[in-house]
Every structure is written in C-alpha cells, then in structure tokens.
C-alpha cells in the first residue's frame, strides 16, 4: 500500500506539471527557432526558447510566458528548502538532469538550443544506491524504481535508461500542515519556502521543480518553479479536480 500511495503522489505531480505547461508551447518553439535553420522533429529531446523577460522585476508579473520557458530547469529553488543543508538527498536531486526525451533538430542534425544534459539510470544509482523495488527488475532503466533513504523515499521514472521525472517524499514533511493558499506567483521560491516550510513532496522534471504540501485535512496543494521564479500555484481544490479528472482519487 505504501508504494501504491507513493506512486499516486508521483503521478499527481506529473499531472500537475503537465496541466500548467503552456498550451501554446508548440507555437513558442516555432517562434524561438524562426531565425534558425529549418528544423525537423526527433524523439530524443525538447526544444529551447528564452524567457520573454530576464529582469528580476518580472516576478511581479502574472504573465505565464515571463515565468516559464522550454529551457531545462536547474533546480535552483531546491537550495531554499528548509533544512536542505542537512538533507544530502536534496543536493543529489539538484545535480540530476531529468529530460522528456524530445528534441528539435536543424537539417544538419544539430539540436536546437544545443545539447542538454541528461541523467541515466546508472547516474541515479550512483547517487542513491540500488533501488528497493522496481516495476521491471530485469530492465530497471525502463520503468519506475523506488529508493528508501534516511530522509525519505524516492521514486524515479525512466525511459530507455534515461531519467524523465523524479519524486522525493520527505520524512516528516506530512507533519507540516500547510497549503499554498498563502502564496502567489509573485512570490519568489525562497519567500514561498520560508513561509510554507518543509514540503511533503518534491518533484523534478525537465522544465520545473514542484513542491507539494498537505494541510490538516489531508488535502494536497503545490507550487512549481523554474529557476528563481514560481510559474504555477495549484490550490487544494484544483488538486482535487485534477485527481477526479485523472482518476487518481480512486487510489487514495
């Protein structure tokens, strides 16, 4: 039951990030690459475009395009997790590079935006040791694996031996009863994490890092960051709706 519950959390984090990704990302990629050579699609990586604003004042804007780009997230907000210095798994999490496995290439085969770092199954094993369970023990680099650490449980998703998403459920995080109702996208990740405290779960994907909280009623809410900006805040009510839409509420 523990792994089923953890798997549900991981899936919910993925759904949350997917739900807040820009609907016009294809148009953004097209615009960003319009001055480059003609491109063709490949199935190994995602395109890159620059944020429309690099000013620190852009954190006061509610414009999604000012906060989210197709560039990989560097996990910078992880340094602000309360107690991060005493949780070595957080630094290891920051050093990993999840990827969607999708890329746009020019006609001469070059990746648009340049090659991006990616982490393999072996990289994750080097960081956390051997997993305690796997959906495919014969081929763990193509499935879901779970690690048990001193500071919490880790679930990582792999495709073709490449890390696509990773979720860290912090030990004791469920005792911090908070919700994201007290923050907004105009806050910085540092301010939000200082205000809310230790999250219940941290999730990293190629384009963002998400922090999940659970209130005293057991309802979950979250916020997502890219670099030093918050690009999405999901309330408890919105999380419940996502669970209903995806059927994850039936796994509670």
Distance of CA 223 to the CA centre of its chain: 10
Sheet containing 209-214: which strands, arranged edge to edge? 133-134, 144-149, 152-159, 162-170, 201-204, 209-214, 220-226, 229-234
Give every CB contact of residue 174 below 8 A, 6+ residues apart in sequence: 200, 214
Please state whether 83 falls in left (phi above 0), alpha (psi between -120 and 50) or beta.
Answer: left
pLDDT at 107: 79
Higher pLDDT, 99 or 9: 99
Higher pLDDT, 218 or 67: 218
Higher pLDDT, 199 or 16: 199
User: Quick one: CA dihedral 154, 130, 89, 102, positive or negative?
Assistant: negative
Q: What is the DSSP string of 126-158?
A: HHH-S-SEES-TTSGGGSEEEEEETTEEEEEEE
DSSP bridge pairs for 225: 209, 230
3-state secondary structure of 95: coil
Q: How many CB atoms lie within 10 A of CB 220?
A: 25
Instruction: Kindly list the distances between the CA atom of residue 105 and the CA atoms of 40, 44, 205, in Å, as whole numbers in the listed order.
Output: 5, 10, 21
What span, in angstroms and rounded, lies between the C-alpha atoms of 223 and 231?
A: 8
Per-residue pLDDT for 103 more than 70? Answer: no
Per-residue pLDDT for 246 more than 80? Answer: no
Res. 237 pLDDT band, cuts 50 70 90: very high
Instruction: Kindly list the distances between the CA atom of residue 92 and the CA atoms of 172, 210, 224, in Å, as whole numbers in the listed order.
Output: 19, 16, 19
117-175: per-residue pLDDT in tens? 899 999 999 999 999 999 999 999 999 999 999 999 999 999 999 999 999 999 999 89
Mean pLDDT computed over every residue of the chain: 79
pLDDT at 11: 52
21-68: per-residue pLDDT in tens? 544 334 333 334 443 444 344 444 444 444 443 333 334 445 655 666
The pairs formed by 124-133 with CB atoms below 8 angstroms and a separation of 24 or more are 124/96, 124/156, 124/163, 124/166, 127/92, 127/95, 127/96, 128/89, 128/92, 128/154, 131/156, 133/3
| Domain coordinates in residue numbering, the chain | 2-251
Pairing of strands 152-159, 162-170: antiparallel
Least Cα distance to 8 among 241, 222, 247 occurs for: 247
3-state secondary structure of 201: strand
């Amino acid at each position: 039951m523990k792994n089923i519950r953890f798997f549900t959390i991981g899936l919910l984090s993925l759904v949350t990030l997917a739900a807040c990704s820009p609907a016009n990302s294809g148009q953004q990629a097209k615009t960003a690459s319009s001055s480059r050579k003609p491109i063709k699609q490949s199935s190994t990586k995602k395109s890159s475009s620059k944020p429309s604003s690099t000013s620190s004042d852009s954190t006061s804007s509610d414009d999604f395009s000012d906060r989210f780009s197709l560039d990989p997230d560097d996990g910078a907000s992880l340094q602000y997790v309360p107690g991060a210095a005493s949780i070595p798994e957080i630094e290891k999490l920051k050093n990993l590079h999840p990827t969607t496995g999708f890329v746009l290439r020019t006609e001469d085969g070059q990746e648009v935006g340049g090659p991006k770092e990616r982490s393999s199954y072996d990289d994750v094993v080097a960081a956390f040791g051997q997993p305690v369970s796997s959906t495919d023990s014969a081929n763990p680099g193509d499935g879901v694996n779970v690690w048990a650490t001193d500071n919490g449980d880790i679930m990582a998703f792999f495709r073709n031996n490449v890390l696509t998403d990773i979720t860290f459920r912090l030990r004791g995080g469920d005792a911090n009863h908070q919700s994201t109702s007290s923050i907004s996208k105009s806050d910085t990740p540092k301010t939000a994490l200082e205000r809310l405290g230790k999250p219940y779960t941290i999730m990293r994907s190629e384009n963002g890092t998400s922090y999940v909280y659970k209130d005293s009623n057991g309802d979950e809410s979250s916020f997502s960051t890219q670099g030093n900006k918050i690009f999405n805040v999901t309330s408890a009510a919105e999380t419940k709706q996502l669970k209903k839409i995806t059927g994850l509420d039936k796994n509670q």
